[in-house]
Amino acid sequence: MIDINLIRTQPELVRENIRKKFQDKKLPLVDEALSLDARRRALTQEGDTLRANRNALSKQIGLLMREKKTEEAEKVKAQVNADAARLAEIEKEETEVSAQLKKVMMSIPNIISPETPIGKDDSENVEGERFLEPKIPDFEVPYHLDILEKLDGIDIDSARRTSGQGFYYLTGDIARLHSAVLAYARDFMIGKGFTYVIPPFMIRSDVVSGVMSFEEMDGMMYKIEGEDLYLIGTSEHSMIGRFMGQTIDESKLPLTLTSYSPCFRKEKGAHGLEERGIYRIHQFEKQEMIVICKPEESCEWYDKMWHYTVELFVSMGIPVRTLECCSGDLADLKYRSVDVEAWSPRQKKYFEVGSCSNLTDAQARRLNIRYKSGKGTAFAHTLNNTVVAPPRMLIAFVENHLRADGSVEIPEVLWPYMGGTKEISAKK
């Protein structure tokens, strides 16, 4: 949610930002916000005037009563009663207008970074840097599901019977590899100075509406029937929600946190060949990183965070690249976002394995997360980034470390987490 003062003082800047995101249908929201804001301010001013008059009239009634001017006192009392009735109407309308204004403001997208390329959708995202040289082996790389099945590491059919499409069982060494990567990612981030956290896996609706747009909520979140609780789609949701309504002392910033959680997503609209495996699923686990900082630090942290993900993948011998998200591909709360994509030797192209986002103060405004300094209080900036999400990481891992005989090599950094196991062999 952007600052209402920005709409008051630079409405055309806000409109142009909406155009850059190719959301012209939202242009009328700017005028609607201005109208609602003007009405709210007028109501507030009228209410303040009536409250001030009430105090003055109350004193006047006391004076008239002492002077035994009962008739005049009764007239003033009638005025006080009339003002009180009007004040009640004002307060009711002010509450309604404020709610309408908040809803409109939450639908207006955050101002995007000057460095964000302008484009309609993800097809116009811009490649950034590449890390490690992609390799194409001299043998055919099977589909990732076939590789995992030959390693006796996955059972999709049983999961369909127990849970439906979009679920899986991981077994044996592949299940161990899955846990090993998460443990390695946890320790990797702790080594970068981040504090490890395991958050709640369910959050209430006021947190959900604070961390994402209404459209995202509908497309992602599972609601617990009969309760005001949602399953998290990423630990970022509950991690940021932890600081809702708080004012953090400046000396404690930046807050650098890394969190583990299962994630639950509807994945509406998932389709295509890659959906047959574990690229898009309803349940997975992830290591995340979160930063809450002062505004002047957020761009620097943004660059640090995506570099950490790149460093992690490179340390496991997986080639990656960055892809700058264009304006039309940015979620409404995001100021800037970059995807980290891993190389797929089978497809001979890159695919997304994580995403880093700077939301400036848009998320903090929704959740009222402030920090206190010698100059007063201000909204903090929030950032989030995927350290690693094993389902997609597993695809990249087995494809890039597959040998001609069907075995998969384990890189040295994971040996301690695999009990010294250096390869996973195909089952005969």
For the segment 88-102, what is each residue's pLDDT rounded down to a tens digit? 999 999 999 999 999
Q: Residue 358: pLDDT above 80?
A: yes
- Residue 206 to residue 227: CA distance in whole angstroms: 13
Residues 86-115 have a mean pLDDT of 94
Is residue 4 pLDDT above 80, yes or no? yes
Burial class (CB in 10 A: 0-12, 13-18, 19+), 400: buried
pLDDT exceeds 70 at position 271: no
Over 90: is that where the pLDDT of 248 sits? yes
Looking at every residue in the chain, the average pLDDT score rounds to 92
- CB distance 371 to 377 below 8 Å: yes
Q: Of residues 211 and 395, which shows the higher confidence score?
A: 395
Determine the pLDDT at residue 76: 74
Domains of the chain, CATH where assigned? 4-105 (1.10.287.40), 122-424 (3.30.930.10)
Q: Is the pLDDT of residue 66 over 80?
A: no
Which of 233, 237, 235 lies closest to 260 in space, CA to CA? Answer: 235
Let me know: does 297 contact 254? Beta carbons within 8 Å: yes
Q: Report the pLDDT averaged over residues 198-220.
A: 85
Q: Is the pLDDT of residue 274 over 50?
A: no
The residue-averaged pLDDT of 349-354 equals 96
Local confidence band at 217 (pLDDT 50, 70, 90 cut-offs): confident
Mean pLDDT, to the nearest integer, of 240-252?
A: 96
Comparing 276 with 201, the larger pLDDT belongs to 201
Mean pLDDT over 400-420 rounds to: 96
Q: Residue 51 pLDDT more than 50?
A: yes
The reported pLDDT for the residue numbered 276 is 67
pLDDT score of 272 more than 50: no
